[in-house]
């Protein structure tokens, strides 16, 4: 099977972001990747009606800190959703497994606690090249996918 741009979407199928307040928290670690994901998410939200003043963007040191930051953002602000952006690349130790498991479970817990969508836009790849291909390369941009998912989940809650 030929892999294509996984981020292609039909804009007519994306609910309007008009009036939505969306948080985006992105890890600084692997910044070349997370910056591209962040840009994809922000541009997609703006293109789908979210006002720039209704976007709250924050940075955290690494992917492990995403659940805490999402929790704090939802506690302190009236957000409709939070998109969490990170990139964990497999290394020679089990660190990858621990981080990925903790972050995915942590984000799910935050979402359930606040009854708000907390979107997992975290790349978990074997190589840096795979991460590049999923952050604006031939396989699309996981940040774009996260923005579309956030808007669809917000509309689902109405």
- Most distant CA pair in the chain, distance: 45
List the catalytic residue out of 77, 95, 114, 139.
95
Q: Is 114 part of the annotated catalytic residue set?
A: no
Between the alpha carbon of residue 62 and those of residues 59, 78, 139, the distances in Å are 9, 24, 23
Query: CB–CB of 26/59 below 8 Å?
Result: yes
23 - beta bridge partners? 56, 82
Handedness of CA 53, 55, 56, 58 (dihedral sign): negative
DSSP string, 67-86: HHHHHHHHHHS--SEEEEEE
Query: CB–CB of 88/100 below 8 Å?
Result: yes
Q: Which residues are catalytic?
A: 95
């Amino acid at each position: 099977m030929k892999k294509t741009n996984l981020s292609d979407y039909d804009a007519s199928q994306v609910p309007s972001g008009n009036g939505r307040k969306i948080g985006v928290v992105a890890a600084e670690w692997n910044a070349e990747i997370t910056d591209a994901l962040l840009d994809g998410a922000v541009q997609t939200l703006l293109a789908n009606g979210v006002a720039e003043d209704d976007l709250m963007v924050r940075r955290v040191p690494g992917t492990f800190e995403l659940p805490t930051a999402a929790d704090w953002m939802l506690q302190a602000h009236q957000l409709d959703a939070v998109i969490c952006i990170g990139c964990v690349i497999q290394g020679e130790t089990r660190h990858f497994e621990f981080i990925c498991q903790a972050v995915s479970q942590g984000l799910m817990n935050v979402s359930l606690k606040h009854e708000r969508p907390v979107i997992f836009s975290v790349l978990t790849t074997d190589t840096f090249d795979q991460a590049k291909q999923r952050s604006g390369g031939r396989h699309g941009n996981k940040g774009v996918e996260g923005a579309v998912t956030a808007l669809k989940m917000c509309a689902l809650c109405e």
